[in-house]
Structure 1
Amino acid sequence: MFFKEVFIITLLSTLLFSDSADLKKVDGTWHLRVMDGMEVRKARAILEFDIEKMKLSGFDGCNRIGGALQKNSDTNITVPMMMATKMACRESIHNWVSKRLHETVQEGFSITEEEKYGVEGITIKSPTHELFFKKMGREK
């Protein structure tokens, strides 16, 4: 019971005291385009940020994923308890993307708005991976 109470207090303090205004710009659905320098659009990995609810959901190339976002500092975000379905990956690119996406989210990451490869988007960077996403629904 103690751990459950600590988790709830931590989650509430994160929601109440974090400045989610900075994160508001990532609210929405994002398509993974480049991972660790490799073009991976074919994997069709998608992340959806719901900053108001501090939730992350999406598709890792093989499975549906989701979890609560936790803002650890001004620049670091994690999803300590990410849930995923357990379907097999169809191709090696899907497996490669899925594995690294999970590692990135669990290690903790920063988010930067930038233009790369002629596209406006965001870069999610963890200690070991760098992922570039384009917002879905935008032409450029």
Structure 2
Amino acid sequence: MLNKKSLIVTLLVSLCTSYLSAQTESVDLDDLHGNWHLRSMDGKDVRKARAILDFDAKNMRLDGFDGCNRISSELKTNSKTLKSTKLATTRMGCREFIHSYVRTRLHKTVKEGFTVTKAKQNGVEGILVKGSKHKLFFKWMSS
């Protein structure tokens, strides 16, 4: 029974990943300008964490909220990869597990470097921020 459940979960994750991959195209840095709300991380719904990234392409800045704290950083780019330099953050404690889960993975992805592509997930259009280990889906909020 457990093997059957594991197989079903593996197939569902594979199908979702394939679907999301098929729905992506590259994004120009200027098109990122504005606030983006994190909706899912590695296939898990994380909207309750209320994490937000605010891209300022003109000034090459990244600001936002990681679920626990305000964050800010300069952005560097090489070809299609963006990377945060000297990520600064306030030091408030996280209230719930979902907040620390999001904070840890968001910081790791931003520091390591990431690509951004247009994506559609569950009928919602947005962007996929993909690092070496994590995939984060964001929905546009405002500029």
Q: TM-score, normalised by structure 1?
A: 0.81
Higher strand content, 1 or 2: 2
- Note the alpha carbon deviations across 1:82-124, whole angstroms, 9 max, x for none: 0000000000000000000000001100000121111000000
Q: Which amino acid aligns with 1:74?
A: S
1:43 corresponds, among 26, 38, 49, to 49
Match of 1:11 in 2: none
The question of 1:131 aligning with 2:104 is answered: no
Distance 1:114 1:60 in 2: 21
Q: In structure 2, what is the equivalent of residue 33 of structure 1?
A: 39
Which of the residues 114, 120, 126 maps onto 1:121?
126
SS state at 1:62 partner: coil
Q: In the alignment, which residue of structure 1 is the partner of 2:59?
A: 53
Q: Which runs of 4+ in 1 moved over 4 A?
A: none
Structure 2 regions of 5+ residues with no counterpart? 1-26
Out of 70, 73, 82, the position equivalent to 2:76 is 70
- In structure 1, stretches of 5+ residues that fail to align are 1-20
Establish whether residue 93 from structure 1 lines up as the match of residue 101 from structure 2: no
Matched-pair identity in % = 52
How far apart are the structure 1 equivalents of 2:123 and 2:111?
29
**Counterparts of 1:116 and 1:62, CA distance in 2:** 25
Q: Which residue of 2 aligns with 1:13?
A: none
Letter in 2 for 1:114: A
